[in-house]
A = this chain, B = another copy of it.
Amino acid sequence: MSKPLIVVTNDDGITSKGIRVLIEEMEKIGEVFVVAPDSPNSGMGHAITVDSTIHIKKSPIFGDIQSYECSGTPADCVKLAKHELLKGKTIDLVVSGINHGNNASISVIYSGTMSAAIEGAIEGIPAVGFSLNDFRYDADFEHTRPFIQKIVKEVLAKGLPKHVALNVNFPAVSDKPLAGIKVTRQTNGYWKEEFDSRKDPHGRPYFWMGGAFVNREPESMDNDIAQLDQNFVTVVPCKYDLTDYEALETIMKWDLN
Which residues does chain B contribute within 8 Å of A110, judged by CB atoms? 46-48, 75
**B240 and A242 within 8 A (CB):** yes
Which residues does chain B contribute within 8 Å of A30, judged by CB atoms? none
The interface size bin for chain A is 35 or more
One of A18-26, A52-60, A89-97 contacting the partner: A52-60
Give A193 to B205 CA distance when docked, in angstroms: 40
Minimum C-beta distance from A167 to chain B (A):
8
Give A206 to B51 CA distance when docked, in angstroms: 13
Instruction: Name the contact of A254 in the complex, choosing from B42, B45, B154, B200 (C-beta under 8 A).
Output: B154
Known: A75-B45, A247-B237, A251-B237. A154 touches B53 (CB 8 A): no
Most buried by B among A44, A45, A161, A192: A45
Q: Does A248 contact B (CB under 8 A)?
A: yes
**B106 and A240 within 8 A (CB):** yes
**A235 and B247 within 8 A (CB):** no
Known: A51-B40, A161-B246. A256 touches B195 (CB 8 A): no
One of A1-9, A137-145, A169-177, A178-186 contacting the partner: A178-186
Give A197 to B204 CA distance when docked, in angstroms: 41
Known: A83-B192, A247-B164. A43 touches B54 (CB 8 A): no
Minimum C-beta distance from A36 to chain B (A):
16
Q: Which residues of chain A in 228-257 are interfacial with respect to chain B, using CB atoms and an 8 Å cutoff? A: 235-248, 250-252, 254-257
Known: A43-B47, A44-B45, A181-B257. A84 touches B53 (CB 8 A): no
Subset of 6 A-B contacts with CB under 8 Å:
A43-B48, A46-B110, A55-B207, A83-B193, A122-B190, A236-B243
